[in-house]
Amino acid sequence: MSGTVFVFNGYMLDPGQRVLTRYGTPVEVNSRYLDALLLMLEHPGELITRDRFFDHVWKGIPVTDEALSQCVANLRRVLGDEAGNPRFIETVPKHGYRFIAPVETGRQKRAGRAITFPRDWQGAFTLIAASATGGGLAGVAGGLLYGLGASPDPLKPAVGAASFLLVMLSVNVLAAAIGGFG
């Protein structure tokens, strides 16, 4: 599985995981501020108006210009940027902000491997048989443990142990078969 990530000057923003890292180390950022940064990274070099920030980040919640100013000030602090000498976020007075650093987009590989399914009936049958066998063995083991454990005399199984064993076996085989079909 992979997702789009934004990379700039040692930072990487993974929108899918909602995490900002600097050289692999997570950087703590408020959720709304992360949304604001993501908006700018999706449109590098473009002017993002105050109204667009309000619509995208605060989604119709009434806030003042001060909330946006605080958001950008916090992002600058986190990124080590300065309003007077910007490396990342440029202020366009009375209009909005622009992300000025070069931004690269890429695909982030996720750990794990893809799930594969058999392409022919023989492979499917093998998978279902293996699943049913595993489920059946689990049912037998569970039934035996329950039957022997529930008996007051360990040498004499409880009265319902055999029927419980059969029910557990049937349920597990059925669950394994359904699981095998996906």
pLDDT value of position 23: 92
pLDDT value of position 80: 94
Per the document, the length of the chain is 182
Compute the distance between CA of residue 140 and CA of residue 19 in angstroms, rounded to an integer.
46
pLDDT single digits (tens) 69-114:
999 999 999 999 999 999 999 999 999 999 999 999 987 655 555 5
pLDDT value of position 159: 58
Compute the distance between CA of residue 138 and CA of residue 152 in angstroms, rounded to an integer.
24
Three-class DSSP category at 62: coil
Query: By the 8 A CB rule, do 71 and 57 touch?
Result: yes
pLDDT value of position 167: 75
pTM recorded for the entire structure: 0.59
Of 75, 92, 69, the C-alpha closest to 38 is 75
Cα–Cα distances in Å, from 83 out to 69, 88, 91, 135? 11, 9, 7, 63
Residue ranges, the chain, pLDDT below 50 = 1
Of 132, 131, 159, the C-alpha closest to 146 is 159
pLDDT value of position 92: 94
